[in-house]
Amino acid sequence: MPSQLDALKSLSLVVADTGDLDAIKRYRPHDATTNPSLLLKAFDLPGYQALIDEELAALQAEFQDRQARVEHAVDRLAVAKGAEIARHIPGRISTEVAARLSFDEEASVRKAHELIALYDRRGVAKDRVLIKLASTWEGIRAAERLEREGIQCNLTLLFSEAQAQACFDAGVFLVSPFVGRVTDWYKKETGRDYAPEEDPGVRFVHGVCERAGRGGYDTVVMGASFRTVGQVLALAGCPRLTISPALLEELAAKEGEVARAVEIPAAGERPAPLTEPAFRWRHNQDAMANDKLAEGIRRFDEDQRTLEARLAERLD
């Protein structure tokens, strides 16, 4: 009998939510994703040290100014790690635009171009890369422009139907609605635990999949931020699922069939595209989405700053 991981792979495309190359080799995902938080977790892994030293040496040779070295260090490290990961997966590597640019459309577009250029220098074509942007109005507009240039995007930190609809309207390649962080908010508010079938995060992602299907949008929905195997299995059939190594290990260790839990409905009539005022109002009306988007941007930025500080120490 196949493992639950193998059974799940027959229903959803599995993406590794990690920068740990050993885990990627072990579980053979189709795609992988990185962000400053995942890079920070991988920072002390023994297999990571030579890559860090190599990139820092290159920065010291390229930039005379120490601050310039620090400013470029995270991007260079992310791309170096992403390029290494890309050699071990058949699909794409997602790479994050710094969270501090989440409300700056122009700066986000510039940063995306820089990341694509760095990948190109390493022989990784842009069709193997997804640029990750926060699902703010500005991030979505940046993604819309990049998509028109042939640079495909992964819109992350997605917590509201308004964010999802605006991403569909913009024609972005992929959206990552979060499961665990949505459920965390409701558990804190209500003091309840939730079975997978009534889990607020699971139900939210089900809704995003249904909205994508009913509108006939090409945007890929990828469930993200899982806390339990139960949440993962409750979204079997969602086009893509990005899963941490710990949960991949649980799924690989248990045999059993996995039932399809997500059915994509047939396309119907599309709603009118959201205007900026409508987007901001509808998102504002969702207290959970407001809280979690702001918190997520702050957390990613905190991890980016911590990573920059640790790289700066290594540059000294």
Handedness of CA 222, 225, 226, 231 (dihedral sign): negative
Domain count for the chain: 1
Residue percentage of the chain with pLDDT more than 70: 100
Largest CA distance in the chain: 59
Average pLDDT over residues 152-172: 98
Would you state the pLDDT for residue 291?
Answer: 98
pLDDT digits (tens, 9 = 90+) for 9-66: 999 999 999 878 888 999 999 999 887 877 887 788 787 888 888 888 888 888 877 8
Q: Strand pairing partners for 231?
A: none
* Mean of all residue pLDDT scores within the chain: 94
Of the two residues 314 and 203, the one the predictor is more confident about is 203
122/36: higher pLDDT: 122
> Would you name the residues annotated as active-site residues?
132
Q: Among 75-84, 134-143, 156-165, which is the least confidently predicted range?
A: 75-84
What mean pLDDT comes out for the span 253-267?
A: 95
Tally of CA atoms within 13 A in the half-sphere of 283 that contains its CB: 26
Length of the chain: 316
State the residue range of the domain holding 190: 4-315
pLDDT in tens, 68-120: 787 788 899 899 989 999 999 999 999 999 999 999 999 999 999 999 999 99
Question: Is 80 exceeded by the pLDDT of residue 275?
Answer: yes
**How would you classify residue 110: left for phi > 0, otherwise alpha for psi between -120 and 50, otherwise beta?**
alpha
Give the pLDDT score at 227: 97
Q: What is the DSSP letter of 99?
A: G
Is the pLDDT at 281 greater than 80, yes or no? Answer: yes
Q: Do residues 30 and 15 lie in contact, with contact meaning Cβ atoms separated by under 8 Å? A: yes
CA distance 76 to 308: 11
Angstrom distance (rounded) from CA 39 to CA 306: 11
